[in-house]
Amino acid sequence: MLTKKTRSTALRITNVMLAVLLCPVAAWGWGDQGHKIVAVIAADNLTPTAQIHVASILGAQPNKSATATAMEAAAILPDRPEFREEYPLTKPWHFIDICLKDRRIDVPGECHEGNCVTAKIDEYSKRLKDANYDRWGAAGDLAFLIHFVGDIHQPLHAANNGDLGGNCVIVDLRSLETNLHAVWDTTVVRDLEYEIDSGKPETTAHKLERTYAAEKELDAWVPGHTDDIAWESNQIAHSEIYEALKLPVEPCVPPAAVCGNKPKVELNSSYLDHADAIAGHQLAKAGFRLASLLNEIWTQPVAMNDTMHAASPAVVPIVSSAVTDQIVGNRRSKIYAWPGCGTYDKMAPENRVEFPSRDAAEQAGYRAARNCP
């Protein structure tokens, strides 16, 4: 596990509150930071053959750095607000509601009509291996696969306690409230980054790689065992989230359409420390397993231009927009910028804060830079 540093409770809670404040209310997956960490770890562990395929599909130079950057952009595409609004049918693809009362044998039955994260991982793995792409083309299908492998390792994306995967459990963080699912999606990951003293997904990814290097071979992807990974995440949610917070096991049927009277829980520093360690381990496993899966998909050299021609023209600009629309704020000056602004590339790494939109930046108290196009 990661070595813990001595920090005051007051500083710890301040960092957590800041992370929550900067997170979107609706939580899908690990959040941008977590998905980027998974992508970087995976990029670092691709075989040369798989790296060339991935770079070709995503329109990147065939080197590790460029491939990692392209994978980071692709990883967060399925969570972009404009993408979710245009393709709402993809919403259930990000999770599988395995009830805490379920047994391992019940897992396949919780994936209704193939619209869940386990089925979609298997589907997009096969599509990419067979070069049989759907409406989103090679680039879109690869973006989905990168994202969903991250999702399945977020414990609350494979668990349900009659609470919509923790979305109905209100969390009290010193008068700032959000839900338990959002805390695990984004707050815990941000806190993990601050603990590592990076604040950047790339630095965090490399730290996690070193920390869990001995487990890399154990985390090889085994085709046909996607349900086992979902069950593993479910059991982590059961013991490390629900039991740790002393939340009773509730029936999952009939499914909750809206949140009723669910408990409010307080997350103390000890719980958050433990959550950081669990999340870091899960992110490392996701990165190693994603690399192993991509290495298994592509074992033959890429044919010149074949994969790029297979990509849908409508997909590549969407993948690119995940980078070009990035809003970054300076936590010291409280000014935000975007590519093309004079200050965008001049911010010190430790001062950079990422936002999903300009509205989110302004709601957090930031103003736009005056030297932007």
Position 224 in a domain: yes
Position 186 in a domain: yes
Least confident of 41-45, 71-75, 176-180: 176-180
CA distance 234 to 232: 5
C-alpha distances out from residue 12 to 2, 40, 159, 326, 334, Å: 16, 26, 27, 27, 21
Are 318 and 363 in the same domain?
no
Length in residues, the chain: 373
Task: State the number of CA atoms in the 13 A half-sphere of 235 facing the CB.
Answer: 9
Least confident of 9-23, 66-80, 100-114, 264-278: 9-23
CA distance 354 to 360: 10
CB 44 within 8 A of CB 129: no
In the block, tokens 């790494």 appear at 349
Q: Which residue range(s) make up the domain with 372?
A: 326-373
C-alpha distances out from residue 257 to 39, 59, 222, 335, Å: 33, 41, 35, 40
Are 178 and 284 in the same domain?
yes
Are 337 and 206 in the same domain?
no
Segment holding 20, helix H or strand E: helix 9-21
Cα R_g (the chain), whole angstroms:
20
Position 144 in a domain: yes
Bridge pairing between strands 367-368 and 335-337: parallel
Nearest to 267 by CA among 144, 353, 170: 170
CA distance 99 to 218: 27
Task: State the number of CA atoms in the 13 A half-sphere of 223 facing the CB.
Answer: 10
CA distance 118 to 151: 10
CB 247 within 8 A of CB 263: yes
Higher per-residue confidence, 4 vs 230: 230
Are 358 and 245 in the same domain?
no
Task: Output the pLDDT for position 315.
Answer: 42
Nearest to 230 by CA among 122, 91, 77: 122
Task: Output the pLDDT for position 31.
Answer: 87
C-alpha distances out from residue 149 to 29, 35, 124, 205, Å: 10, 9, 11, 16
Are 220 and 280 in the same domain?
yes
The winner for highest mean pLDDT among 17-21, 259-263, 272-276 is 272-276
The structural domain count of the chain equals 2
CB 97 within 8 A of CB 231: no
| Number of Cβ within a 10 Å radius of residue 325 | 14
Least confident of 190-204, 216-230, 233-247: 190-204
Are 245 and 348 in the same domain?
no
Least confident of 117-131, 178-192, 319-333: 319-333
Task: Quick: pLDDT tens for 183-215.
Answer: 999 889 988 988 887 678 999 999 999 999 999
Higher per-residue confidence, 310 vs 28: 28
Query: What is the SS3 string spanning 141-199?
Result: HHHHHHHHHHHHCCHHHCCECCCCCCCCCEEEECCEEEEHHHHHHHHHHHHHHHHCCCC
Q: Per-residue pLDDT for 319 more than 80?
A: no
Position 3 in a domain: no
The model's confidence at residue 176, banded by pLDDT at 50, 70 and 90, is low
Instruction: Report the chain's mean pLDDT, rounded to a whole number.
Output: 82
Higher per-residue confidence, 36 vs 27: 36
Position 1 in a domain: no
Position 2 in a domain: no
Q: Per-residue pLDDT for 157 more than 50?
A: yes
The average pLDDT across 286-308 equals 84
* Residue 357: exposure state from Cβ atoms within 10 A (0-12, 13-18, ≥19): middle
Are 276 and 370 in the same domain?
no
| Number of Cβ within a 10 Å radius of residue 269 | 15
Position 43 in a domain: yes
CB 330 within 8 A of CB 162: no
Are 336 and 275 in the same domain?
no
Position 4 in a domain: no
The model's confidence at residue 109, banded by pLDDT at 50, 70 and 90, is very high
Nearest to 121 by CA among 100, 143, 89, 91: 143
Are 336 and 200 in the same domain?
no
Higher per-residue confidence, 101 vs 309: 101
CA distance 34 to 31: 6
Are 303 and 337 in the same domain?
no
pLDDT-above-90 percentage for the chain: 55
Are 39 and 19 in the same domain?
yes
Task: Output the pLDDT for position 251.
Answer: 85
Are 197 and 342 in the same domain?
no
Q: Is 235 helix (H, G, I), strand (E, B) or coil?
A: helix
Q: Return the CATH number at 164.
A: 1.10.575.10
Least confident of 2-16, 205-219, 252-266, 276-290: 2-16
Least confident of 176-190, 204-218, 358-372: 358-372
The model's confidence at residue 329, banded by pLDDT at 50, 70 and 90, is confident
Task: Output the pLDDT for position 258.
Answer: 64
The average pLDDT across 5-25 equals 34
* Residue 285: exposure state from Cβ atoms within 10 A (0-12, 13-18, ≥19): buried
The model's confidence at residue 317, banded by pLDDT at 50, 70 and 90, is very low
Task: Quick: pLDDT tens for 54-78.
Answer: 999 999 998 999 999 999 999 999 9
